[in-house]
Structure 1
Amino acid sequence: MEKFKSANDSRVSITELMLPSHSNFGGKVHGGHILNLMDQIAFACASKHSQMYCVTASVNRVDFLHPVEVGELLTLRASINYTGKTSMVVGVRVESQNITSGTKRHCNSSYFTMVAKDENGKGVPVPGLLLENEQGVRRFARSKQRKEEAFSRDTQFDSSQFKLENHLESLSSENVKLDLR
């Protein structure tokens, strides 16, 4: 196994025609179908980078920016943004394209944390990421910061650390009624 690999070595993309069977009750492509495709391409990218079977550990924020219409082409692109010891952050970008007009729209971007596993389900080391340009450094640094912020957020609201009095005032402007007994 190589010690370091570039993002280009593991980059993958897929394009799929959105069919009526992919639609929801509103006639748009179901978000769950798009998420399924995103998870598949994140798996392919992480497995290509690590040369191991990978599992999804987490997904960081999925915002659906534009609806996808039946009959449009959906293109997903994935690349490795960050590598830890056994984990990788895969950036996934989704674009739709109207076949007749050629109009392309960015539908969403998301970040999947994938973990490489051996045949016994244990985490295994992955090749590091070779950063070759400013964009690669920016993506790596952003993923590292996002990881640190998630850890901080998770520990701040852990039940053993949570302080009720630190949050009561901020709730006064929210659509909530307190009835603490």
Structure 2
Amino acid sequence: MEPKYVRESRTILTQLVFPSDTNMHGTMFGGIVMEYIDKISAIASMRHARKAAVTASSDSLDFLAPIRVGEAIELEAFVTWTHKSSMEVYVKVVSENLITGERKLTMRSFLTFVAVDENGKSSPVPPIIPETDEEKRLFATAQERYDQRKLRRHKSI
């Protein structure tokens, strides 16, 4: 299979945070952000594989700062590494105060998706080619995250 560049899977989603998206503290419900993360990761993985993909795991959802009502959030997802049929997807969420222009990293996440064929069976995916410093750093550390996922999955059986 021909390798593909990380940029080919890059996906961006921007949303405005409304009162219905927030809790009693005026900050965004984590579950809503998690839904956006899963959706944008699915799009990035399907762009890479050019076939259906399903969520296999979520390593972490690290909430770094609150997201407030009235802010915009920008989610960016891209495939960082591949195995036979699996793809690691990195997602970062940045919030922006649209009045002041202040932007802050509010969340990071790593998810694993598996490409599937028309019968729902795992299907091979192309390797990845990182280009930027961030892509190269994430690619270089992906094998360790993969090994940790396998160990975690083995311990949970």
> What interval of TM-score do these two structures reach, taking the shorter chain for normalisation?
over 0.9
Which residue matches 2:130? 131
Establish whether residue 118 from structure 1 lines up as the match of residue 117 from structure 2: yes
Change (3 A) 1:8 1:66: same
Residues 1-181 of structure 1: matches in 2 within 5 Å? Answer: 3-155=2-154, 157=155
Counterpart amino acid of residue 99 in structure 2: T
Q: Supply the distance in 2 between the matched residues of 1:23 and 1:65 (Cα, whole angstroms).
A: 17
TM score, norm. by length of structure 1: 0.81
SS at match of 1:120: coil
Aligned residues between the structures: 157
Change (3 A) 1:36 1:86: same
Deviation per residue, 1:114-141 (Å, 9 max, x gap): 1111121111111111233554332112
C-alpha displacement of 1:151: 2.5
Uncovered stretches (5+) of structure 1, i.e. residues with no partner:
160-181
SS at match of 2:68: coil
TM score, norm. by length of structure 2: 0.92
SS at match of 2:23: coil
Counterpart amino acid of residue 30 in structure 1: F
C-alpha displacement of 1:158: 5.7
Q: Which of structures 1 and 2 has the bigger CA Rg?
A: 1
SS at match of 2:61: coil
Q: Supply the distance in 2 between the matched residues of 1:158 and 1:78 (Cα, whole angstroms).
A: 28
Q: Which ranges of 4 or more aligned residues in structure 1 deviate by more than 4 Å?
A: none
C-alpha displacement of 1:152: 3.2
Deviation per residue, 1:83-117 (Å, 9 max, x gap): 11111001001000001111101001111101111
Uncovered stretches (5+) of structure 2, i.e. residues with no partner:
none
8 Å Cα contact 2:79/2:87 also seen in 1? yes
Q: Supply the distance in 1 between the matched residues of 2:55 and 2:100 (Cα, whole angstroms).
A: 36
Percent identity between matched residues is 35
